[in-house]
Structure 1
Amino acid sequence: MSLDSRHIQLMDTTLRDGEQTQGVAFTPTEKVSIAKALLQFLRVDRIEVASARVSEGEREAVSEINQWARQEGFADRVEVLGFVDHTRSVDWIKSTGGKVINLLAKGSEKHCREQLGKTLEQHSADVLQTITYAHEQGLKVNIYLEDWSNGYQDSRDYVYGLVDRLQHSRVSHFMLPDTLGVMAPDEVFASLNDMCQRYPELQFDFHPHNDYGLATANVMAAVRAGVRAVHCTINCLGERAGNASLAEVAVVLRDKMGMQLAIDESHLVRISNMVENFSGKRIADNAPIVGADVFTQTAGIHADGDQKGGLYKTRLGPERFSRTRSYALGKMSGKASLKKNLEQLEVNLSEEDQKKVLARIVSLGDSKQTITTDDLPFIIADVLESKSYQHIKLLACSINSGLDLQSTVSLRVKVRGDKHQATGAGSGGFDAFIDAISKVMAKYDFTLPKLADFEIRIPKGGHASALTESVITWDCGNELRKTRGVHVNQVFAGILATLKLINIQLHEMECGQTIGKAK
């Protein structure tokens, strides 16, 4: 079979090897949920769900997974790691309704000699004894050659000798792990190509680790060498630097090597999120395929290129993974980025209003790295209701607050061209600001109206980093007035709303209009 037409099996070991990640321990219910998602929705070829004889909780989870798998026709695709202990691992797996044992043998002479204190002949005999018993109990047998990468490098004769003794024992998959993640792609290709050429009748799997950040590249080398099955985990979970990312491996094998895969890519992100939540291990926002930001264009020039002809799009389109492309708003934004977001909101703004909104976005970008589409309605409302009055301008403001301590404010403002400094104290940051700004405005015979209402909002479903909108209702005597402020910091959102009210009233004073005074 030619390289370009091969089907590559993906075996997911998130629930076994991935659970060796520091601090990760899935509950039985979580294990069952992940197993079902991997087989039923993502459609991986095989899953490795546990190690035998670990705990009663593990037995419970594996039993439930196997019961479900039998009902759905997946029984032979659920695998459990077992040990060279003759009957014990086999009996444990059998008691859970399991059909496949992945037997852990010593793939390096050093491990065999120093950890077991046995010769190749003695260890081989033990392995064959366990294999024979597993077959008698109706189990399918795969075998891991633990630390194979070091074993192959240090003592190939040992590796060849072990495989020679096991090759006729009806082992379905010989699984070759780079247990400590020490190999580079050229080493992977040379060693696996040798194994595939030397034993053309055997089915080899490659099990990489990511210690050098080469796991995905090593998978490519393994497939090029003739391997037909590779092991991965969701979100790179695994001991130390983790295993190969299933999302990365799947996409690379399809796009860069033309391999045939069974998985349904549209479920990659959903299952990544599930594992992220259950494991408590957060993935980076820029993690390939599944990261929060990987389909977000930040630079305005990229948004412009997409607007004019899809110039910055590749085969890794978001729709392929049931995602959407977004255009981040911030200090690097251009009008194309804004237009893309306005289209998503179905909002039409004039060119002049777009310029005002974009200027506000760029200004906010200095204090908030990115602004989301959810933040945008706050900014639009704030800008469109704003007048360009600059009677008062905040130059600097420092707020100090503490638990069970009075808050203090130190500020500098410019009022009608004159600069003033003031300090204030209060029960909170905003209260302290009101105290300070009132001292400045008293010099202009100006008294702030009383607050009738004070609202703080963030966008629906917003995160802790979302923009904050403050809407203040002021009692101006003969009328109620509302002003709005938008900022990443909720206290400063209230401050901006207050300055807007002062600007409006100072403008009215200059125009000779009567204004309401605080009572």
Structure 2
Amino acid sequence: MQDRPVKMNDHTNLLELEEHMYPLVDVETPNVFHNLFPYSEVPKIAFNDRIVPHHMPEDIWITDTTFRDGQQSRAPYTTEQIVTIFDYLHKLGGPNGKIKASEFFLYSKKDRDAVEKCMERGYKFPEVTSWIRASKEDFQLVKSMGMKETGILVSCSDYHIFYKMKMTRRQAMEHYLSVVKECLEIGVSVRCHLEDITRADIYGYVIPFCLELMKLRQQYGIPIKVRCCDTMGYGVNYPGAVIPRSVPGIIYGIMTHAGVPSELIEWHGHNDFYKAVSNSTTAWLYGASGVNTSLFGIGERTGNTPLEAMVFEYAQLRGNLGGMDTAVITELAEYYEKEIGYKIPPRTPFVGKNFNITRAGIHADGLLKNEEIYNIFDTEKFLNRPVEVAVSNTSGAAGIAHWINTHYRLPKESHVDKKSELVALVKEWVDREYEDGRVTVLTDEELEAVIQETADRLQIKLK
């Protein structure tokens, strides 16, 4: 066996044996890991207790697929809506460009019009990028639009290579590399979307393919990004889980054995098993600089990693917001509901109607005494969403006054107090409800109707 070089890892300060010897394993029959993914059973999470080290990059960021993957699961946005949302993303990302890029389709005239209008904004961030299939025809779209970067679909599991594309691994790799080369020839940077990576042969196909990409990167002197696409949401973040389901194992392999630097690695998760956010955070922790997201998690099937979730994951990991303007998240939620007509489920974290409303009577009592007891953080400061209490038989006049002031966002000089006539009359109605045997919390709609009717009678303006 030939000796392999030993080198010092500057990050861990440990001597390591270089093992960059992973040739393509060009199998005759597909390896679809039916031991882990038996279609007639629930998928299995297996362990081999191989642990890889944390490798948090110095710089981490968010990218956006609202107009690409997010648009595959809903009615298409209008050009005006796309440009408005793009403006919001620019504002949300802040001066440091923490929302680094946003990707677009190029197939329809509407798509191309939206791309042109967003590019005309002249923002450094988010960078406008495209997405294409690995075909010569799609490449012409990128060329005609003058894009600086494009994503290319490079499906990597045998499910896709053998069953969908009807190719062998070698044929697929050669096909993908030919399209990548065409982009590099005209100076377009490439982002390779490794579709279905959590069912792929990581060391038999993915690592050898990424090694070839890094050779092209060196040859052309142009960055080539690798996006790890957990297309079916099979990824897990548990230490010691086996690949291809192990998120730490995938990121470690691509970074260490394929030589892809952190700034060129990105994670794209789906939420089929409720793991999109935790897997995206794990990708950051183990070496990926980028995580790909969509607004409110809107995406195919169960959706993508929600962009707003990763904003607050970033803050929890870094101890700061990196310049991001989180109040824009509330502005975006209001725009989606009022202008686009999209109904956000009321219990959605950070953006749902009820995410910071306390309904349990005993919780409401604690909240009125000190809102830190039952509010996750200062939601008024970060999201322009003051904490609210739901009204019940235990709320009292103070609780009703608090509800009116916060729900209608009354300025301080217009606040009602527990001694006001409006509050007293509403409390009389609330008391009657519970005297008649009611046991549930009052709904917003019921309260709004009673408060508005009472305010009209008293000639009080609430808005």
TM-score of the superposed pair, with normalisation by structure 1: 0.65
What's the counterpart of residue 189 of structure 1?
Answer: 248
Q: 1:351 to 1:269 in 2, by over 3 A?
A: closer
The 8 Å contact of residues 42 and 268 in structure 1, kept in 2 or not, is answered as no
- Which range moves more in the overlay, 133-142 or 329-338? 329-338
What's the counterpart of residue 32 of structure 1?
Answer: 83
Map residues 478-493 of structure 1 onto 2, 5 A cutoff. Answer: none
1:318 aligned onto 2:392: no
Q: 1:346 to 1:220 in 2, by over 3 A?
A: same
Q: 1:304 to 1:101 in 2, by over 3 A?
A: same
Bigger CA radius of gyration = 1
C-alpha separation in 2, matches of 1:339 and 1:216 = 37
Q: What are the Cα deviations for residues 358-388 of structure 1, in whole angstroms up to 9, with x where unaligned?
A: 2422445759523557853644787xx9xxx
In the alignment, which of 132, 135, 158 is matched to residue 82 of structure 1? 132
C-alpha separation in 2, matches of 1:381 and 1:26 = 39
In the alignment, which of 353, 356, 360 is matched to residue 299 of structure 1? 360
- Say which SS state the counterpart of residue 167 (structure 1) adopts: helix
What's the counterpart of residue 133 of structure 1?
Answer: 182
C-alpha separation in 1, matches of 2:306 and 2:448 = 30
The 8 Å contact of residues 295 and 318 in structure 1, kept in 2 or not, is answered as no
1:358 aligned onto 2:407: no
In the alignment, which of 324, 342, 348 is matched to residue 263 of structure 1? 324
CA shift, 1:40, in A, is: 3.7
What's the counterpart of residue 369 of structure 1?
Answer: 443
CA shift, 1:110, in A, is: 3.1
What's the counterpart of residue 274 of structure 2?
Answer: 213
What's the counterpart of residue 17 of structure 1?
Answer: 69
Letter in 2 for 1:27: T
Q: What are the Cα deviations for residues 249-290 of structure 1, in whole angstroms up to 9, with x where unaligned?
A: 221232256476453211011123334456543111111001
CA shift, 1:212, in A, is: 1.3
The 8 Å contact of residues 93 and 99 in structure 2, kept in 1 or not, is answered as no
What's the counterpart of residue 45 of structure 1?
Answer: 99
Letter in 2 for 1:212: F
The 8 Å contact of residues 374 and 459 in structure 1, kept in 2 or not, is answered as no
What's the counterpart of residue 346 of structure 1?
Answer: 415
Letter in 2 for 1:179: T
Letter in 2 for 1:340: H
Letter in 2 for 1:338: I
Letter in 1 for 2:78: T
1:285 aligned onto 2:346: yes
What's the counterpart of residue 489 of structure 1?
Answer: none
CA shift, 1:174, in A, is: 0.3
What's the counterpart of residue 243 of structure 1?
Answer: 304
Letter in 2 for 1:244: T
The 8 Å contact of residues 303 and 336 in structure 1, kept in 2 or not, is answered as no
CA RMSD after TM alignment: 3.2
Question: In percent, how many aligned pairs have the same letter?
Answer: 22
- Say which SS state the counterpart of residue 305 (structure 2) adopts: coil
The 8 Å contact of residues 397 and 418 in structure 2, kept in 1 or not, is answered as no
Paired positions, count: 380
In the alignment, which of 164, 167, 186 is matched to residue 211 of structure 2? 164
Give 5+ residue unaligned stretches, structure 2.
Answer: 1-10, 12-53, 218-222, 239-245
- Which range moves more in the overlay, 24-33 or 373-382? 373-382
C-alpha separation in 2, matches of 1:262 and 1:116 = 44
The 8 Å contact of residues 145 and 174 in structure 1, kept in 2 or not, is answered as yes
- Say which SS state the counterpart of residue 77 (structure 2) adopts: coil
What's the counterpart of residue 117 of structure 2?
Answer: 64
CA shift, 1:309, in A, is: 3.2
What's the counterpart of residue 337 of structure 1?
Answer: 399
- Say which SS state the counterpart of residue 168 (structure 1) adopts: helix
Q: 1:49 to 1:271 in 2, by over 3 A?
A: same
Q: What are the Cα deviations for residues 434-454 of structure 1, in whole angstroms up to 9, with x where unaligned?
A: xxxxxxxxxxxxxxxxxxxxx
C-alpha separation in 2, matches of 1:270 and 1:111 = 40
The 8 Å contact of residues 301 and 334 in structure 1, kept in 2 or not, is answered as no
Letter in 1 for 2:65: T
Give 5+ residue unaligned stretches, structure 1.
Answer: 386-456, 462-519
C-alpha separation in 2, matches of 1:265 and 1:353 = 34
C-alpha separation in 2, matches of 1:300 and 1:351 = 22
C-alpha separation in 2, matches of 1:258 and 1:4 = 14
Q: 1:381 to 1:18 in 2, by over 3 A?
A: closer
1:179 aligned onto 2:248: no
CA shift, 1:112, in A, is: 1.6
- Which range moves more in the overlay, 221-230 or 310-319? 310-319
The 8 Å contact of residues 46 and 78 in structure 1, kept in 2 or not, is answered as no
Letter in 2 for 1:360: W
The 8 Å contact of residues 119 and 128 in structure 2, kept in 1 or not, is answered as yes
